[in-house]
Structure 1
Amino acid sequence: MRRTLRGLCVVAAVMALVSADSRIAELLAELQRLLGHTQEERSRSEHNLINIQKTHERMQTENKISPYYRTKLRGLYTTAKADAEAECNILRKALDKIAEIKSLLEERRIAAKIAGIYSDAEPPRKTMRRGVLMTLLQQSAMTLPLWIGKPGDKYEVDDIDEEGKERHTLSRRRVIPLPQWKANPETDPEALFQREQLVLALYPQTTCFYRALIHAPPQRPQDDYSVLFEDTSYADGYSPPLNVAQRYVVACKETKKK
């Protein structure tokens, strides 16, 4: 009976692998099509932007804003806004496709494990050098996608910094997900932590999160947070300001200590 169930699980896993591969191929084709549409929209909008620039140059030459130019510019800017929104919608759809592909790849990994194609019983990975690990963390932070807002179980956790016992099973309430998007301070400042807000942040050159206060939020999408880590070795109980990438700053539910 146990062998029969095992065989059924393997068959189901193989079928899931085939289904995932097929769907991933479809999504990649859709993603390629969306990227082509993005380039088309961009080319069209660039032509309109050139017309806006030329119109402004003519206005400067005549040194006046006539009703004709006012009406023409209003139409050009309306078109430019519509072009930007169309390109933005396509990019959102492309990001959704990428997220779905990533989810399917994880489902495929689990199915492969059940089917025996992949096994966690393989020899433990070698301990990663600290410098390499820090570089990977920084690269992950830099490649975090920028979120573009519109006008809303148990976990298996791999510990890559612990040799021989890399996997742990945790309940959802004991896991704080890292951000999936990078917030733009210029368009979505409310999505960022504000000054003196209590957070958990990744201490530089480590893989550990510690309590900290926001010293200054990012001013541009590529900027880091400036945070003050709790540190009793300093008179005021906090370290000097240190920079931490958006990806590695999360909410802390505990109250700020007095």
Structure 2
Amino acid sequence: MPFSADAIAAQQVQERLKSIHQLVQDIEKKRHASEQGINNLQKAQDAQDDKNSHTQMKLKNLYKSAINQAEQEEESIRAALQKIAEIRNIRNERRIQARNAGNKESIRQGAWMKMLSHSAQTLPLFVGKINEKPPALCGAIPAHSFYVAKVGDMVAALVKVTEGEENWILAEVVSYNQHTNKYEVDDILEEQNEKGRHCLSKRRVVPLPLMRANPETDPSALFPQGTIVMALFPQTSCFYKAIVNKPPATHMEDYEILFEDQTYQEGYSPPLLVAQRYVISVKQKQKS
């Protein structure tokens, strides 16, 4: 009897979880070796009482050893992170397959909001190597003009709400037609009915970040204070024009955002927290 798609996906996930378990054990061993190497280096430096060639050579070798041990630990950590990314992809692909087969799960708005928050918090953090710059779709860095969002990716989409009125909404990519340069997207809160699907030109779709930027190492990959942006209003699925009041200070923090709101004397709402994933460059509304 052939295995079901769910069984195959579950097996693939289990294989990667087993690899992660082994990698975590390997990381612990390499971290211990790395710490020991640094301690040996520190002791040698503290005991240094002259600068003869033998002492200098010993220190040089200890430095090389410490660097090599740190690089090995880094390699194992990156391998574990890659396995985690593969698990996310497997689960997302299975969800898309189920949706295409017509097996849509009815999810209440409150549950959707929690899922969106969790998705933003667990978005992979870009940790570059020495002199490596953050790529496109990391933090505030936009996608290249030729980029096409993948099926299942979250995007901001400009859709008609009523006659003469358009809004930027949070949507999921269903397909992309290379010949017409048009996307099919589902409104994440309306995907259960036909009205939630939209066919849009590429300029009406903005891919959301695929990685978070670390303010401590890559501050240039974040919108600075005072930048006009589009941001997802908390507990809704709509993007609105806003101003960055305060960018994240650490990789665990969110933006502090001021939304345009004429009900306040200043013309802006009080500061609200919005995750990196849901803050993008402002776009002008355009006709199809």
- The alignment's TM-score, normalised by the length of structure 2, stands at 0.62
**Are the counterparts in 2 of residues 215 and 226 from structure 1 also a CA contact under 8 Å?**
yes
Tell me the residue number matched to 1:8. Answer: none
Is 36-45 or 100-109 further displaced after alignment?
100-109
Of structures 1 and 2, the larger Rg is shown by 1
CA distance in 2, matches of 1:254, 1:27: 43
Matched, 1:107 2:93: yes
Structure 1 residue runs of 5 or longer lacking an equivalent are 1-10
159, 164, 181: which is aligned to 2:188? 159
23, 29, 32: which is aligned to 1:34? 23
**Are the counterparts in 1 of residues 188 and 237 from structure 2 also a CA contact under 8 Å?**
no
Please identify which structure carries the higher strand content: 2
Compared with structure 1, are the counterparts of its residues 203 and 158 closer, same or farther at alpha carbon in structure 2 (3 Å cutoff)? closer
Q: Deviations over 1:124-147 (max 9, x none)?
A: 44x344xx6655544443333321
Tell me the residue number matched to 1:177. Answer: 207
Compared with structure 1, are the counterparts of its residues 21 and 163 closer, same or farther at alpha carbon in structure 2 (3 Å cutoff)? closer
**Are the counterparts in 2 of residues 149 and 188 from structure 1 also a CA contact under 8 Å?**
no
**Are the counterparts in 2 of residues 157 and 170 from structure 1 also a CA contact under 8 Å?**
no
180, 187, 197: which is aligned to 2:227? 197
DSSP-derived class of the 1:215 partner: strand
Q: Which residues of 2 match residues 84-99 of structure 1 at below 5 A?
A: 84-99=70-85
How many equivalent residue pairs? 231
Tell me the residue number matched to 1:148. Answer: 127
Q: Deviations over 1:58-86 (max 9, x none)?
A: 45xxxx86426766555444433333333
Sequence identity percentage = 41
Tell me the residue number matched to 2:241. Answer: 211
Please identify which structure carries the higher helix content: 1
Q: Which residues of 2 match residues 1-258 of structure 1 at below 5 A?
A: 20-21=9-10, 23-55=12-44, 58=46, 66-67=50-51, 74-112=60-98, 119-120=103-104, 124-125=106-107, 127-129=108-110, 135-150=114-129, 151=131, 152=135, 153=176, 154-157=183-186, 159-160=188-189, 165=193, 168-171=197-200, 173=202, 174-234=204-264, 237-254=267-284
DSSP-derived class of the 2:230 partner: strand
Q: Aligned-pair distance for 1:45?
A: 0.9
One-letter amino acid of the structure 2 residue matched with residue 103 of structure 1: N
After superposition, the CA RMSD in angstroms is 3.8
